[in-house]
Structure 1
Amino acid sequence: MTLDESSLELEPSWSGEGDAASTSGILLDEVGDDAMYVGVHDSSRLGWNISVAVPESERGTYEISLELEMPTTSLGTFDAWAGLQSFARLDGAALAGPTSLRTKEAYRREVVAASFRLLRPRTGFGRHCTLVRAGDADEEHAAALSLWIEAARETLKQAREELLAPRVGIGKKERARADEFLSAQYWGVLTDCARALFDVQSRIAARGGMVSFDVVEAKLTEALDEENRYRQSNSFKLASPVSARQLERLVRRWHRLKRYFERTLFLELDAYPVAARLGSWFSAVMAIIAYMWFVFLQSTIEHYGAVGPGVGVLAFVTAIAYASRERLKEAGRNWLAGRVQSMFAQRVSRARMPRRDGKKRGPVVVAARESFSRSTPRGSGRAWRDTGADRTVLRFSHRGTIQRPALLRSAAAARLRLVFRLDLSPVFARLHDAMRGFAHTDKATGRIVILDVPRNYKLPVRLELRSSNGDGETREVRGKLVMNKNGLLRFEARGER
């Protein structure tokens, strides 16, 4: 089957409908049901996101803090606010099933909820493969892995029965898009399962194991062939190795499908620096104080100048009083801004439900105060004692209040996911070279060879969530961020407790 470029392009209304598609331009982080996640988003950005429970009636409070420890010399004059990105969306993994609403937006949320249910068998398959790699493999593991594949097939079958049946307000074209989106998600699940299975087979073969996973591979092959026949019967495109350019168009179409459905979960986010919003008030207050100070000095000078100093001295003292007024106004404004930021916050952000009824602004779901701070920790870890380097802890604090407005009740969302990304690329230029060479004599040839050893940095990271919603919850994730001069490499998690 040849790939037609025109069939891969979506209608113009897809890219311009709604504000979330134009403002976010991102896809959801597929982290399954994890309430907290820290990882490398790309080669330059550290990403973390947290799922917070939405209270049923009253408001709830929560606090998020991220601590990143790094050498002081590499941090330099790093501007954290310039590299921070933040998003807020409904947690697709916590969305309910079918609702009584008969709108396209509600239908798309149902499709997203079904797609997240498809990801759960993939997560289970991957975790089971991790257990197999860590322990002894046997035939029981092969049977368990086959059950995960069957669970994915049944989940897709149930989703199609619920979502593809004719319903009021949902046209045939909308249901076809949902069908193609679910098929693409299922295809991705089978692909990830195949990757995990190949890794397990290579690890077992390297250890000299004799356990065969041909049954699991046959199950995957059967599921993949079945889905390919379904896609072909519905005129969906297949990943035939025709050309790299056509395959890129196929991937782009899938991403547009993903954005089309998942953008219904994103909230409208607006934020402003506290100092910028209140700067005019600080200037007005200090202008009044400085003017009173100038009037006081001027009256004092005129009183004593009538009987004492000459005209030149009087003019000089008056000029000093005028200059001190301007200095007092500027220093006082900066002092007030610093005190307010330290006691209140450096930035205020609000997440609102998007409105489709023509109103400009929707109800507020989350109102948060955010701050960045630097500190020098007491004591020193073993790794830092070995290097003798000074260290600085960069801490991001996010304290928010969350509530459930009427629009959110109709969305049937139990949790809200907050997504953050921090660009660390300005730090890379201050690190040492990514490779360190060592001369070595090859005993076989007697010649000198250079051994290049990566010079990586392992930076401690701690993410913490404290919430008062419901019974309250406290979660923490610790690990190390591995990076070098070329960028971020990976995040080694120590675990969640």
Structure 2
Amino acid sequence: MMRDGNNAAPWTILEEFTEERVSLSVHDASRLAWNVTVPVAKSGRLTYELTVELEVPTNLVGSFEPWGALQSYARLDGADERGTQPHGSPAVFRREIMGVSFKLARSRNGFVRHCTLVRSSARARSVEEADHVQSLILWISAARGALAQARAGMLACGCKREERDNEHTLADEFLSVQLWSVLTDCARALFETQRWLAIRSEDAAAELDAVEERLSEALREEIAYRKEAKFPHAEPADALELERLVSRLRWLKKHFERVLFLEGESYRVASRLGSWFSAAAAMLAYLWFFFWQLALEKHPFPGAIGSGVLVFALLTAIVYASRERLKEAGRNWLEGRAQSMFAQRVTRYRLPSPTPRARGPIVGTARESFSQSAARRPDPVSPESQATLDVTVLRFSHRGFVTRPEAAEGSAQVRLVFRLDLSPLLPRLHDAVRGFASPNVETGHIVILDVPRNYELPVRADLRFEETHEEIERTLVLNKNGLCRIDEAAP
């Protein structure tokens, strides 16, 4: 997105910037994450459906239990700012602060996305010709402008900085660290882009020096503001102080995010209805035994008394033993039918309750299922041949709806976060590196190069609600040491 920063307030682009509704990422070395953002309807309910599929070679799956590996939670997102309302309730004020934090996050995502655009379009024309420099600077100005607007409005509370209460001081410190983190992430994305452009030409990488200067200026000003406000600070060379600063950021974030997180409650359909399934299966098994017993009594076996009694006892024992087998099969059949028609798990999200015994209003309800199916894929080395690879498709289905309770007024959307632990797959992979020997041209000695032995697993996500349909395809790269990254799917 490009806009003339001299003709419009730079932070206004944050109001127009829209992120993807569904995203896939690597959360850490063992967990695959997918985030979903569902808008909250102004009235009534909004129904949505999410499907995520991961293809894993069958020999790597083993005894994988997906429900035990899945972690999920939900929070309100996209809180609306209400300008300057210093006398609002603490919950309203914290929600406004999180609204500013979301704007800072959008500016970071916009900057990172634009860096990706720079790398993809650098082959066609220079960075300067495409006006990427001004666009990247505009994202930095947008983040700084959003924080400056908040400091002049809701954080000012009509008094001097040293006269503000503790909540406003904590909010100012929290947003300051958030901006610091945003600028850090922007710098990391810029360095990666400069490194990529340097491979192409030194001049192309030098064209982004102006963006680095603007980032450096923003960092100097924010660090100076923190020192003036006497916020906790850390020198770059002091690892202990930096560790304490990161810990304080975590607690500040939890302090303000607490009003947005929803309380989740889940139950497995099979466990909730298991007793009813057992009772129904027991009734069927008893009827089976009862009818066979009546049939055997009405049709006695001819012959000697001893042989007739023996055959009658043997058949009765077989029918009695089959009753237990029928009972177990009937229970499994009922559970399978209920889960296929309804869901394997039901999850509800509620607003935080004001008291421990009370229950908050429901914001969303979802029916979730996890299935595994076998499939065959063409051999990647020789797709035209008849050879195929056996894969197991892990499919997560999530169907639900969200509503807008009165207590959640001002929230624009609900963000659902899922993390799937894939650590059970890692021990079944081969060594993380593979060595290749090569003679050194200059010295004549043998040099062994260790190359990562990575596995590429296709992963897809599909989100539908109303007339919106978003589908993304990515490739999960992992090795024995853990998950590495998410790449764009190969064409």
The answer to whether the superposition gives a TM-score over 0.5 is yes
> Are residue 273 (structure 1) and residue 268 (structure 2) matched?
yes
Which residue of structure 2 lines up, in the alignment, with residue 25 of structure 1?
none
Residues 143 and 397 of structure 1: CA distance in aligned 2, closer, same or farther (over 3 Å): closer
Of 121, 130, 137, the residue aligned with 2:127 is: 137
Check if 1:195 corresponds to 2:188: yes
SS of the counterpart of 2:203?
coil
Q: Which amino acid aligns with 1:272?
A: Y
Indicate the residue corresponding to 2:13 in structure 1. Answer: none
Between 315-324 and 198-207, report the one with greater CA deviation: 198-207
Q: In 1, distance between residues paired with 2:382 and 2:352?
A: 47
Farther-moved stretch of structure 1 (335-344 vs 120-129): 120-129
Partner amino acid for 1:138?
E
Taking the aligned partners of 1:197 and 1:464, their CA distance within structure 2 comes to 30
**Aligned position for 2:430:** 432
Counterpart check, 1:160 vs 2:144: no
1:178 positional shift: 0.3
Q: Show structure 2 runs of 5+ residues with no match.
A: 1-16
Q: After superposition, what is the alpha-carbon deviation per residue over 1:213-244, rounded to whole angstroms, capped at 9, x for unaligned?
A: 55444433332222222211221011214632
* 1:122 matches 2:108: yes
Does the CA contact (< 8 Å) of 1:32 and 1:119 recur in 2?
no
1:2-401 to 2 correspondence within 5 Å?
33-91=19-77, 94-98=78-82, 102-133=88-119, 134-135=121-122, 136-138=126-128, 140-166=131-157, 172-206=165-199, 207-209=201-203, 211-241=206-236, 243-305=238-300, 309-310=305-306, 311-357=309-355, 359-377=357-375, 380=378, 382=380, 385=383, 388-401=388-401
Q: Cα offset for 1:150?
A: 2.7
Q: Secondary structure at the match of 2:449?
A: strand
Using the alignment, how far apart are the partners of 1:384 and 1:370 within structure 2?
37
Change beyond 3 A, Cα 1:384–1:315: farther
Counterpart amino acid of residue 173 in structure 2: E
Cα 1:322–1:215, aligned 2, differ >3 Å: closer, same or farther? closer
Deviation at 1:331, TM superposition (A): 1.4
Aligned equivalent of 1:9: none
Q: Kindly tell me: are residues 171 and 319 of structure 1, through their superposed partners in 2, closer, same or farther at Cα, counting changes over 3 Å?
A: farther
**Which of 459, 462, 466 is residue 460 of structure 2 equivalent to?**
462
SS in 1 for 2:202: coil
Provide the C-alpha distance between the structure 1 equivalents of 2:329 and 2:323, rounded to a whole number of angstroms: 10
Q: Secondary structure at the match of 2:273?
A: helix
Alpha-carbon distance, 1:357 to partner: 4.7
Q: 1:189 to 1:56 in 2, by over 3 A?
A: same
Report Cα offsets for 1:94-128 as digits up to 9, x if no partner. 22112878221111110000111122333333334
- 1:150-186 per-residue CA deviation (whole Å, 9 max, x = no partner) reads 3322211111122223389x97111111010011011
Distance in structure 2 (CA, Å) of the matches to 1:289 and 1:143: 74
Query: How many Å apart are 1:37 and its aligned residue?
Result: 0.9
Q: Deviations over 1:443-487 (max 9, x none)?
A: 43334333332221111111000112xxx2100111111111221
**1:274·1:341 contact (CA, 8 Å) conserved in 2?**
yes
| Matched residue count | 458
Whether the 8 Å contact between 1:32 and 1:123 is mirrored in structure 2 is no
Distance 1:405 1:443, change over 3 A: same
The TM-score normalised by the length of structure 2 is 0.85
Deviation at 1:275, TM superposition (A): 0.9
Taking structure 1 as the reference length, the TM-score comes to: 0.84
Alignment of 1:409-424 (within 5 A): 410=409, 412-424=410-422
Cα gap change, 1:177 to 1:32, in 2 (>3 Å) = farther
Give 3-state SS (helix, strand or coil) of 1:265's partner: coil
Percent identical pairs in the alignment equals: 52
Deviation at 1:129, TM superposition (A): 3.3
